Amino acid sequence: MSDLVFYPAYQLAQLIRDRRVSAVEVLEAHLAQIARHNTILNAICTLDEENARLRAQQADAAIAQEECWGPLHGVPITIKDFYETQGLRTTAGYAPLHNYMPERDATVVDRLRQAGAVLLGKTNPSDVNGAYQGLNDLFPRVNNPWNINYTPGGSSSGTAAAIAAGFSALDLGSDIAGSIRQPAHCCGVYGLKPTDQRLSLAGHIFEVPGQPHCIRQMLVPGPLARSIKDLQLCFSLLVGPDRRRPSLPPVPLDVVSDKPLQALRIAWSDDFRVPIAREIQTALRHAAQQLSEQGARVENWSPPDIDWTAAQTLYYQIAAFNFRYAQPVTLKAAQKSLTFLWRETTQGDRALRQSGSPTQALSAMFTPTLLAYFEVLTQRDRFTTQLDAALADWDVWLTPVAATVAFTHRPAWSAIEIDGKVYPHAVANGAYTMPFNLSGHPAVVMPIGYTQAGLPIGLQIVGHRWREMELLAIAQQIDEVVGNFQHPPGYE
């Protein structure tokens, strides 16, 4: 089985349980793929071959005794380097943590291990200031397996690149402004951003060890994979209360309605925030047409009466409060933040800069007050309620993931040209993802096509809060009509 590295995780687990292939064989295939290609991609930043081999051997011994550890028994996975892994270096791409060895796993990592997964290594992220591309202070930049001159997106940069290149069957990313969805779009894989507060963030580093738990809104863990079924499986393993995060609501898995495609009400929009690249627009409109031809009720729509520019400003204000104390204030961190602010407010088309300017977050960043924090949270509640009401008549809403596909490597937060117009970096990449971090709605990204230059194009599918299993079931039906997963050429 020479193509083991591109099997979805659920199929690998079944093959191992049926003894058609051993966990060791599966692991060695992935390690060989990493050895062949990682020096070019830099997707894996820390490899744990010795412990992964031991775990795979134990998995095979257990199967021989007719013992199954769980749904991921023997399946090799990787984890974004923002998640603590017991005894395995965890850095978050942050120089002061270059040798940090956690004493316990993040909750979501522990749950995947308990399900039988074999952790083979950590994937290379963007750091907090690394923009929507794989840049940090510790490791070489991550390259896109579809074209190494292009970014894989960020901050789950190595995560998406590793899944696309066959380094791993499953990975955990995290998303505060599109950091699961934009890399999935750039690398042609699947990703899930769950509802805000749906999964535990215990052991996830944005706050460095020793800092208070600051980031309490908009940041969520989520899986990246090569199939919707893997997203469903992984999410079902991660969900549930956590004693380490007592504020996490104990919401059970939702019950899927099993509506046929022909009964679904599907809204779609290709421009509710900023103009998108023509090839993305063409792909999205073609997907809507295909779904309509299969009998779904599909309508071009965007929520009325929502001020998206105000929502963008509100997002930045909340983010500034959240990040203010997450890491120690240093001259280097301040310089990075100011570089981001300068580039976002001076580069690109003037109207686009105004639609996504972060400058109104300056007061929250430098002179935060408790009253101002409560005020922006109250505004966030209103926005979420407004979007909930707008989406009530639809099963899902199809949108672009970003205004651009993967772009060439450049300094962090530099502007991006799209069809002859220059966009601020965060507008080009975050305009269609940030609103759903702000509102907390879940979203799935899936590949639906490729540009003439051979770069992937993703589709974002937005669902109802707390209804991830329903969203994933609908995404599976949509995937069967318009999905287009392929692995990059040259990685066979």
CA proximity to 78, closest of 1, 204, 172, 12: 172
Q: Which of 22, 122, 126, 155 is catalytic?
A: 155
Q: Are 128 and 327 in contact (CB under 8 A)?
A: yes
Residue type, 203: G
Give yes or no: 247 in active site. Answer: no
Taking CA atoms, 56 is separated from 24, 43, 159, in Å, by: 5, 22, 21
Taking CA atoms, 53 is separated from 25, 27, 79, 211, 295, in Å, by: 10, 7, 17, 35, 49
Q: Are 83 and 108 in contact (CB under 8 A)?
A: yes
Total number of residues shown for the chain: 492
Dist CA 123 CA 159 (whole Å): 5
Give yes or no: 80 in active site. Answer: yes
Give yes or no: 179 in active site. Answer: yes
**Max CA-CA distance within the chain?**
66
Q: Name the burial class of residue 236, with classes exposed (0-12), middle (13-18) and buried (19+) by CB atoms within 10 angstroms of its CB.
A: middle
Q: Which of 126, 174, 179, 200 is catalytic?
A: 179
Dist CA 223 CA 152 (whole Å): 16
CA proximity to 90, closest of 154, 144, 138, 51: 138
Q: Are 465 and 442 in contact (CB under 8 A)?
A: yes
Q: Which of 80, 122, 193, 336 is catalytic?
A: 80
416-418 and 421-423 strand pairing: antiparallel
DSSP label of 116: T
Active site residue ranges: 80, 155, 179
